[in-house]
Structure 1
């Protein structure tokens, strides 16, 4: 298996497990971000659940590459939505840069799963 994939998939998996977890649990700082973005409160735990599923799928994808590919594609769509939402909310540039870096990392992971 590709070394880059064995590093990226678990790292991104843990990232999405943590970001999804704070959304599902309704951690105060997470709710403040939701409000700054102008999102409907009912949508926040749904996004968190998708992040939890995607993060889990990335890690399990090391054992079942089709699952990793599907998860990375789903997370790619989620990150496009996140970046679009932050642009509309006029988020600070460093925040946009972090989201863009995560998007590129997820896209790279998807490509690595295709090659696996």
Structure 2
């Protein structure tokens, strides 16, 4: 189980870092989609910081599992919010990506709890 957590946490961390970076540099593909669902530019740095913090927390959880569990809980909450935001904006085309990351975060949470 510990190896599974390491693999899952590492892969998710890479995705979160890429997503956080895209928000920081205001990648056109990201900003267009987020503006479509009503996310203002002023939220981008905060959302980016949350994703980067979750990535760092998941990686730190490899060495201190309670921190990884806390990061996974935060990640799950973040992506529940993302899915709800897409659904409220009736952007069903945008739901699969945050849903996938929500499931991945839940997997990291379950693996983290199982190996504490």
Q: Same fold (TM over 0.5)?
A: yes
Distance in 2, matches of 1:43 and 1:91, equals 19
Distance in 1, matches of 2:48 and 2:37, equals 15
Mapping of 1:14-25 within 5 angstroms?
A: 14-25=14-25
Distance in 1, matches of 2:73 and 2:60, equals 14
Give how far 1:24 is off: 1.4
The CA RMSD measured in Å over matched residues stands at: 1.4
The TM-score, its normalising length taken from structure 1, stands at 0.90
Q: Which structure 1 segments of 5+ residues have no match?
A: none
Deviations for 1:35-92, whole angstroms, at most 9, x for unmatched residues? 1111122112210110011011111210111111111111111000000011112223
Give how far 1:98 is off: 2.8
- For residue 47 of structure 1, what is the aligned residue in structure 2? 47
- For residue 68 of structure 1, what is the aligned residue in structure 2? 68
The TM-score, its normalising length taken from structure 2, stands at 0.90
- For residue 115 of structure 1, what is the aligned residue in structure 2? 114
Distance in 2, matches of 1:10 and 1:62, equals 9
Mapping of 1:85-104 within 5 angstroms?
A: 85-93=85-93, 95-104=94-103
Distance in 2, matches of 1:34 and 1:100, equals 15
